[in-house]
A and B are shown apart, each in its own frame.
Chain A
Amino acid sequence: MKTMIYICIAATICLSSSAFCEEKIIYKYKKYERFDLGNLQIKGKIIAPGDLSIKDRKHMKLRRKLYEKDNFNKECITDVRNVR
Chain B
Amino acid sequence: MKKYLIILAICFLGLHLMIVDANASISRAHKIYNSNKFSTPTKYRLMTYEFYKSKYYFLASIFAKEFLRRTKKVDDKFLKVFGRLIIKSGSEIFIDLEYDVLNKFKRFKQISFILGIKYFRDQEYKGAYRALQYIPKKSPFYPEANLTQGTILDLLGYHKRSIYKYTACQKAAKKLQDNASHPKQQRYYMIINETCTIHVARSFYKKKNYEKALEMYDQITKESYLWPTILLEKAWSNYYLENYNRSLGLLVTYKSPLLKSYFFPEGEVLTALSYLKLCLWDDAYYVIKQYYKVYSARSIHLKKILQKHETSKSFYYKLVFAPLEYNEKQNPFVRNLVTQIRKKIKFGLDYTYLKRAKNELKHLKRFKKTKLIKFATQLLTGLVKFQSESINHFAQKSMFNFINDIHTYSYEMFSIYLDIIARKRTLLYENKNLVSDRSRGSLEEVNIRTSHDFWNFEGAFWADELGEYSFGLKSNCETAK
User: Which A residues are closer than 8 A to B by beta carbons?
Assistant: 59, 61-67, 69-73, 75-77, 79-84
Chain A residues lying within 8 Å of B154, measured Cβ to Cβ, are 73, 76
Question: Which candidate, B40-48, B175-183, B341-349, B458-466, is the interface stretch facing chain A?
Answer: B341-349
The 4 A-B pairs of least Cβ separation, nearest first, read A62-B422, A82-B346, A72-B202, A67-B412
Mostly, the A contact residues are: loop
Known contacts A62-B419, A72-B205; 7 additional CB pairs below 8 A are A65-B415, A73-B155, A75-B233, A76-B151, A76-B199, A80-B151, A83-B195
**CA separation between A40 and B273, bound complex, in Å?**
64
B233 nearest CB across to chain A (Å):
7
Chain A residues lying within 8 Å of B206, measured Cβ to Cβ, are 70-73
Q: Is the CB of A64 within 8 A of B155?
A: no
Q: Is the CB of B155 within 8 A of A84?
A: no
Q: Given contacts A59-B429, A81-B120, A84-B349, are A67 and B269 in contact (CB under 8 A)?
A: yes
Q: Given contacts A69-B236, A72-B233, are A84 and B346 in contact (CB under 8 A)?
A: yes
B149 nearest CB across to chain A (Å):
10
Q: A-B pairs with CB below 8 Å: how many?
A: 81
Mostly, the B contact residues are: helix
**Interface status of B92 (Cβ within 8 A of chain A):** yes
A55 nearest CB across to chain B (Å):
15
B241 nearest CB across to chain A (Å):
13
Q: Is the CB of B144 within 8 A of A67?
A: no
Which of the residues B192, B415, B430 comes within 8 Å of A83, measured between beta carbons?
B192
Chain A residues lying within 8 Å of B148, measured Cβ to Cβ, are 80
**CA separation between A72 and B429, bound complex, in Å?**
40
Chain B residues lying within 8 Å of A84, measured Cβ to Cβ, are 90-92, 117, 144, 346, 349
User: Could you pull out 6 A-B pairs where Cβ atoms are within 8 angstroms?
Assistant: A67-B269, A67-B412, A73-B206, A75-B202, A82-B344, A83-B147
Restricting to B397-441, which residues have a CB under 8 Å from any CB of A? 409, 412, 415-416, 418-419, 422, 425-426, 429-430
A84 nearest CB across to chain B (Å):
5
Q: Is the CB of B419 within 8 A of A64?
A: yes
Chain A residues lying within 8 Å of B155, measured Cβ to Cβ, are 73, 76-77
Q: Is the CB of B426 within 8 A of A66?
A: no
Q: Given contacts A76-B154, A79-B195, A82-B344, are A64 and B202 in contact (CB under 8 A)?
A: no
Restricting to B242-295, which residues have a CB under 8 Å from any CB of A? 266, 269-270, 273, 276
**Interface status of B301 (Cβ within 8 A of chain A):** no
Q: Is the CB of A66 within 8 A of B192?
A: no
Q: Is the CB of B121 within 8 A of A81?
A: yes
Q: Is the CB of B202 within 8 A of A61?
A: no
Chain A residues lying within 8 Å of B415, measured Cβ to Cβ, are 64-67
Chain A residues lying within 8 Å of B270, measured Cβ to Cβ, are 69
**CA separation between A13 and B344, bound complex, in Å?**
124
Restricting to B159-199, which residues have a CB under 8 Å from any CB of A? 191-192, 195, 198-199
User: Which of A61, A63, A79, A81 has the most chain B CB atoms closer than 10 A to its own CB?
Assistant: A79
